[in-house]
């Protein structure tokens, strides 16, 4: 399997470098986070906001920016296109599930993103006085693990939505809608801790905070002990659920799939 | 007069087309309402922690959210579909068919298509506006409404001019998708009072990319808190931008050598 991924990865790297203009587009999707950070800073100037100082907001949004770029997914677009245009048929003839090539592409592109995102984020964090990060080895391990879980939930939920194209031609609306919901509920526009308590109590059980907010909280040392373990349990459960859903829906869909011209 | 007749004809033919793809209309309209909700929440969340944002109360800030949603709807309705078509036509060389028609090319290129699902955004924006005014128990007087009407008309002209400029650039650069994406990303600032942002950003959003003229100032007019002088500035800015973008469009068209020649 690893050899296959290496081969897929090499092909994906060539493609990514070829289409590097796309990078401009995703850099822009980061503008929203900068805007939200500026607005939060405008109120934290007069004192802590719900336990967050200005430095905490900068930390939240910088770590959040890193996590967001590590969990960026777009295979739903590719899948929607492949299904509608009938390009899926040749992919199905290959001895390997098409999802693997999407995964390889996704990971390779992450490398390219980190080359740009990490230096900027680290510089901002170093230049901001009062940044508090919990960087013990155990915490770092938990952070990395949570980002892996976040990626899995993000990728699989996105793939699941892409598979709607088997039944509807309006997949793009679903992709856009889900993206918007994720912006709000995963903590991209605001730390979940800023939401009303009732909303937080519900959100804790949904997959969204585990796509971003959970990881950032770990890095900032805002979740620990049994909260941390419960968080991992919920994240793991959602990840398993989404993987299973992708697997099952794929089985059902492929049975009835007849592409254009097939 | 002839142009009004043409416009009515365009709107009708677009409506017929939209009726052919009803599922798409429903999906896009629903999406518009969802995004209006997201805009709403992304401003409302600040008010769970604070009483005022850049000196604006919750209800006042919601007027800005409403205006940004309405303008977003107008962009979806007319500007985005037409500019996307212009870019495509320049790339494929079919722009010739527009330029050889005996009507003003700018009129034909920018008002030919309409995507009616944009009306859903506009309706959602009006809904947010009524909610905000109702919550505040505030009804603007006749003078405020008149001033707002002027300010909002100027705002629409400014948005139109910016999109026309971007469209004209496609004659030289062909692919301007990045540019319209950048505009949309920066337009996320439009749902906040411009006073929320730090000094330099505020200046940029007022004088360079005049987003303050699109939402913050018209909202001030609704509240009856805008200097009359500012209205004159806005109308002049709109006129200047429109004249400049129209001039720029003509230059772009002149430099256009179709795909096959």
The DSSP-derived string for A70-135 is HT---HHHHHHHHHHHTTHHHHHHSSS-HHHHHHHHHHHHHHHHHHHHHHHHHHHHHHSTT-----
The answer to whether the beta carbons of residues B118 and B32 sit under 8 Å apart is: yes
Cβ within 8 Å, pair A194-B185: no
Assigned token pair, B68: 């940004």
Task: Give the closest residue to A111 by CA, choosing from A65, A63, A70.
Answer: A70
d(C-alpha A59, C-alpha A12), whole Å: 32
- Of B28, B177, B198, which has the smallest distance from its Cβ to A173's Cβ? B28
Q: Which residues of B fall within a CB distance of 8 Å from A50?
A: 49
Taking the alpha carbons at both ends of chain B, their separation in whole angstroms is: 35
Residue/partner pairs of A233-238 with CB below 8 Å, 24 or more apart: A234/A204, A234/A205, A234/A210, A235/A146, A235/A149, A235/A150, A235/A153, A235/A210, A236/A149, A238/A153, A238/A207, A238/A210
Q: Three-state secondary structure along B9-75?
A: HHHHHHHHHHHHCHHHHHHHHHHHHHHHHHHHHHHHHHHHCCCCECCECHHHHHHHHHHHHHHHHHH
Query: A37 CA to chain B: closest CA distance, Å?
Result: 10
The answer to whether A176 faces chain B, any CB pair under 8 Å, is: yes
Cβ within 8 Å, pair B54-A42: yes
Share of chain A above pLDDT 70, in %: 93
The answer to whether the beta carbons of residues A183 and B38 sit under 8 Å apart is: yes
Is B28 domain-assigned? yes
Query: A208 CA to chain B: closest CA distance, Å?
Result: 15
Q: Which of residues 29-68 of B touch A (CB under 8 A)?
A: 30-31, 34-35, 38, 41-42, 45-46, 48-50, 53-54
Rounded to a whole number of angstroms, the CA Rg of chain B reads 19
Cβ within 8 Å, pair B192-A39: yes
d(C-alpha B3, C-alpha B156), whole Å: 19
pLDDT, residue A25, reads: 63
Cβ within 8 Å, pair A177-B41: no
Q: Which residues of B fall within a CB distance of 8 Å from A189?
A: 41-42, 45
Query: A24 CA to chain B: closest CA distance, Å?
Result: 7
The answer to whether A180 faces chain B, any CB pair under 8 Å, is: yes
Cβ within 8 Å, pair B45-A43: no
pLDDT, residue A97, reads: 86
Residue B53 φ/ψ, nearest 5 degrees:
-120, 110
pLDDT, residue A18, reads: 62
The answer to whether A195 faces chain B, any CB pair under 8 Å, is: yes
Instruction: Kindly give, in sequence order, each residue whose CB lies less than 8 Å from that of residue A191, ignoring residues fewer than 6 positions away.
Output: A52, A57, A60, A213, A216
Taking the CA atoms of residue B61, residue B203, residue B184 and residue B220 in that order, the dihedral angle to the nearest 10 degrees is: 30
Cβ within 8 Å, pair B49-A183: no
Calculate the CA A170 to chain-centre distance. Answer: 22
Q: Which residue's entry shows tokens 């992709």?
A: A175
- Of A36, A169, A176, which has the smallest distance from its Cβ to B23's Cβ? A169
Cβ within 8 Å, pair A170-B181: no
Enter the pTM of the model: 0.90
Residue B136 φ/ψ, nearest 5 degrees:
-80, -10
Is B111 domain-assigned? yes
**pLDDT digit string, tens, across residues A15-49:** 766 665 566 666 777 899 999 999 999 999 888 99
Give the confidence band of A91 by pLDDT, cuts at 50, 70, 90. Answer: confident
d(C-alpha A177, C-alpha B28), whole Å: 10
Q: What is the DSSP string of B187-244?
A: HGGGGS-GGGS-HHHHHIIIIIS-GGGTTHHHHHHHTT-S-HHHHHHHHHHHHHHHHH
d(C-alpha A223, C-alpha B16), whole Å: 56
For range A118-137, the mean pLDDT: 92
Q: Mutation test of the interface with chain B: which of A39, A168, A177, choosing the one with the most B Cβ atoms within 10 A?
A: A39
Residue B222, judged by CB atoms within 10 A of its CB (0-12, 13-18, 19+), counts as buried
Q: Which residue's entry shows tokens 């931008």?
A: B241
Cβ within 8 Å, pair A39-B50: no
Number of domains forming the structure of chain B: 1
Task: Give the closest residue to A28 by CA, choosing from B88, B41, B211, B180.
Answer: B180
- Is 90 exceeded by the pLDDT of residue A256? no
d(C-alpha B146, C-alpha B152), whole Å: 10
Cβ within 8 Å, pair B24-A170: yes
Cβ within 8 Å, pair A38-B42: no
With b for 16 or more beta-carbon neighbours within 10 A and e for fewer, the A213-249 pattern comes to: bbbbbbbbebbeeeebeebbebbeebbeebbeebeee
Q: Mutation test of the interface with chain B: which of A54, A180, A186, A196, choosing the one with the most B Cβ atoms within 10 A?
A: A180
pLDDT, residue B260, reads: 55
Integer CA distances (angstroms), B5 to A130, B10, B89, B119, in order: 64, 9, 24, 21
pLDDT, residue B152, reads: 97
Phi/psi zone of residue A130: left (φ > 0), alpha (ψ -120 to 50 degrees), beta?
left
Instruction: Please calculate the CA angle A75-A78-A82 and round it to the nearest 5 degrees.
Output: 135
Q: What is the DSSP string of A122-138?
A: HHHHHHSTT------HH
Cβ within 8 Å, pair A190-B42: yes
The answer to whether B174 faces chain A, any CB pair under 8 Å, is: no
Calculate the CA B45 to chain-centre distance. Answer: 25
Residue B239: CB atoms within 10 A of its CB come to 14
Residue B77, judged by CB atoms within 10 A of its CB (0-12, 13-18, 19+), counts as buried
The answer to whether B179 faces chain A, any CB pair under 8 Å, is: no
For range A132-160, the mean pLDDT: 94
Q: What is the mean pLDDT of each run of 10 residues along chain B (261 residues)?
A: 87 87 90 94 94 94 97 94 88 82 86 91 97 94 95 97 92 76 90 95 94 96 93 96 95 76 47
Q: What is the DSSP string of A34-53?
A: HHHHHHHHHHHTTS-BTTB-
d(C-alpha A32, C-alpha A180), whole Å: 12
Instruction: Please calculate the CA angle A180-A235-A246 and round it to the nearest 5 degrees.
Output: 70
pLDDT, residue A20, reads: 58
The answer to whether the beta carbons of residues B223 and B63 sit under 8 Å apart is: yes
How many interface pairs between A and B have CB atoms less than 8 angstroms apart?
80
pLDDT, residue A36, reads: 95
ipTM field:
0.90
The answer to whether the beta carbons of residues B41 and A181 sit under 8 Å apart is: no
Rounded to a whole number of angstroms, the CA Rg of chain A reads 19
Q: Domain ranges for chain A, please list them.
A: 2-256
For range A122-144, the mean pLDDT: 93
Is B182 domain-assigned? yes
Range of the domain at B146: 2-254
Q: Which residue of A has its CA nearest to B186?
A: A31
Q: Which residues of A fall within a CB distance of 8 Å from B124?
A: none
The answer to whether A51 faces chain B, any CB pair under 8 Å, is: no
Is B193 domain-assigned? yes
The answer to whether B198 faces chain A, any CB pair under 8 Å, is: yes
Q: Which residue of A has its CA nearest to B44?
A: A195
Query: B100 CA to chain A: closest CA distance, Å?
Result: 34
d(C-alpha B219, C-alpha B148), whole Å: 7
d(C-alpha B125, C-alpha A183), whole Å: 20
For range A75-87, the mean pLDDT: 86
Q: Which residue's entry shows tokens 């081969």?
A: A7
Is B260 domain-assigned? no
Q: Which residue of A has its CA nearest to B35?
A: A180
């Amino acid at each position: 399997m690893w050899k296959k991924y290496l081969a897929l990865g090499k092909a994906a790297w060539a493609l990514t470098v070829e289409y590097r203009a796309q990078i401009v587009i995703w850099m822009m999707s980061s503008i929203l986070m900068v805007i939200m950070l500026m607005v939060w800073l405008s109120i934290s100037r007069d004192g802590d906001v719900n336990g967050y100082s200005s430095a905490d907001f900068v930390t939240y949004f910088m770590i959040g920016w890193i996590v967001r770029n590590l969990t960026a997914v777009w295979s739903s677009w590719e899948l929607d296109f492949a299904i509608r245009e009938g390009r899926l048929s040749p992919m199905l003839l290959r001895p390997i599930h098409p999802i693997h090539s999407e995964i390889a592409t996704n990971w390779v592109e992450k490398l390219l993103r980190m080359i740009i995102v990490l230096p900027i984020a680290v510089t901002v964090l170093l230049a901001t006085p009062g940044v508090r990060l919990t960087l013990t080895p155990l915490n770092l391990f938990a952070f990395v693990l949570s980002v892996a879980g976040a990626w899995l939930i993000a990728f699989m939920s996105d793939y699941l939505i892409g598979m709607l194209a088997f039944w509807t031609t309006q997949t793009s609306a679903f992709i856009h809608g889900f993206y918007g919901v994720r912006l709000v509920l995963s903590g991209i526009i605001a730390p979940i801790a800023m939401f009303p308590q009732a909303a937080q109590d519900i959100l804790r059980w949904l997959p969204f905070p585990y796509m971003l907010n959970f990881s950032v909280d770990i890095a900032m040392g805002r979740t620990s002990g049994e909260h941390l373990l419960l968080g991992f349990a919920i994240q793991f459960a959602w990840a398993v659920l989404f993987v299973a859903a992708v697997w099952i829906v794929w089985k059902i869909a492929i049975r009835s799939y007849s592409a254009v011209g097939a | 007069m002839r142009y009004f007749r043409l416009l009515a004809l365009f709107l009708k033919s677009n409506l017929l087309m939209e009726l052919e793809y009803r599922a798409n209309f429903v999906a896009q309209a629903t999406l518009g309402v969802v995004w209006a909700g997201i805009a709403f929440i992304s401003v409302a969340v600040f008010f769970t922690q604070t009483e005022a944002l850049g000196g604006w109360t919750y209800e006042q800030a919601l007027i800005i959210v409403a205006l940004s949603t309405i303008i977003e709807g107008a962009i979806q309705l007319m500007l985005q579909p037409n500019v996307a078509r212009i870019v495509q036509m320049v790339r494929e060389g079919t722009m010739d068919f527009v330029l050889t028609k005996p009507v003003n090319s700018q009129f034909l290129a920018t008002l030919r298509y309409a995507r009616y699902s944009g009306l859903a955004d506009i309706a959602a924006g009006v809904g947010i506006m009524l909610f905000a005014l109702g919550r505040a128990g505030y009804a603007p007087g006749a003078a405020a409404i008149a001033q707002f009407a002027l300010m909002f008309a100027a705002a629409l002209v400014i948005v139109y001019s910016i999109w026309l400029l971007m469209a004209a650039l496609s004659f030289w650069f062909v692919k301007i998708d990045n540019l319209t994406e950048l505009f949309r990303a920066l337009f996320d600032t439009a749902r906040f009072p411009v006073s929320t942002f730090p000094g330099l950003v505020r200046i940029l959003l007022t004088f360079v990319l005049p987003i303050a003229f699109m939402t913050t100032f018209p909202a001030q007019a609704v509240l009856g808190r805008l200097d009359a002088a500012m209205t004159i500035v806005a109308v002049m800015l709109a006129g200047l931008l429109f004249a400049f973008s129209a001039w720029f469009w003509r230059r772009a068209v002149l430099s256009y050598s179709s795909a096959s020649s």
